[in-house]
Amino acid sequence: KQWYQRRVRAGYLGAGKTTLLSYILTEQHGKKIAVIVNEFGEGEGTEQPGALGLGDDKYEEWLEMNNGCLCCSVKSDTVMALEKLMEKAGKFDYILIETTGLADPGNIGQTFWVDEGLSQLYLDGIVTMVDTHNFALTKQHSRGSEFGRQIALADVVILNKMDLVDQMTRDQVSHDIRSMNSACRIQFTDHSRVNLDGILGIQAYTSVPPPSTVKHEMSEGISTITLTTEKVLCREDLENSHQSLLWAEQPETVADNNRSHGAAADSDGMVILRMKGRVHTDTGWFMVQGVRDLYELTPIPDPETQQHLIFIGSHLDCQRLQNATKMYPR
């Protein structure tokens, strides 16, 4: 059975996503990549496929590019485009799904995780591109918006336009990214010229990241908390704790806000966007992967290292997470 990696690529407006797509679809890099360009929702009309040389009348069609890559621009059903793509199995090795600048990548990633019709595909990771030059301004005007969630959900963050900033800005933006998502990898580039090996085959959902930097206090913005313990955990209690954190009953106003953000929020406003790590339970070792209100435990061999859980989200309350998981900050 042939398996194909799929990754979701996000980035706020003006970050350089279209330039990266143009590079992937035109340069002779030797990789066979199928690209889906999403042109729907609020982003429609701002990132037209014409910028990629596809033409405005080529929606829903898979086009073969001169460098061997494939491209399809969709306005509605990404899953349908993927099903059509599988008819061309053998012509591609990777699938890259682009979102609009205002989109939330978690929605797409979550869909692919549970859709049984796409069983030949597996989610490789979420890559977010950031405009380093305008990072501070974008962050200032985008508190609580898609900008923060795109970074929080990322497995790789590409800091673009590095040629326009000095070392102090580079260090500050890197620090800010790490404070929001200390479990992600960071790539530096300019003009969207990235090392494709750094964003393809990253296996973010089939491997466990190392423990990340700890934030001990309750955070008002996007942040990361890492918990650990030397004790063997009760698997049933652990699953109950995950469900209580991710599926907490919500007042109507919070529930409405939760639906609009597509995340798990509770009555105190804590939103868990991403959860990952490895745990030692009374039934063995497991890799934990969670996106929003979905999670899974996958059995793994004894890694001969300390267990840990990484939580990424907003308004994270370290004490509440400790009480629920029976784990403690590193």
User: Whole-model pTM?
Assistant: 0.75
Q: In this predicted model, what pLDDT tens digit does every residue of 39-62 receive, in sequence order?
A: 644 443 334 444 455 544 444 578
Which is nearest to 309 in space by CA: 188, 301, 108, 326? 326
Question: How many CA atoms lie less than 13 Å away from 217 in the CB half-sphere?
Answer: 4
- The per-residue pLDDT for 110 is 66
* pLDDT-based confidence at residue 153 (cuts at 50, 70, 90): confident
Q: In this predicted model, what pLDDT tens digit does every residue of 185-238 receive, in sequence order?
A: 999 999 988 888 888 888 887 776 666 544 444 344 788 899 999 999 999 999
Distance of CA 29 to the CA centre of its chain: 24
Q: In the chain, what is the straight-line distance between the N-terminal and C-terminal CA atoms, in Å?
A: 41
- Mean pLDDT of all residues belonging to the chain: 77
Q: In this predicted model, what pLDDT tens digit does every residue of 235-278 receive, in sequence order?
A: 999 999 888 888 764 433 333 444 444 455 555 678 888 888 99
Query: Could you give the C-alpha distances from 36 to 42, 136, 221, 326, in angstroms and in order?
Result: 17, 30, 31, 42
Q: What's the rounded Cα separation, in Å, for the pair 140 and 136?
A: 6
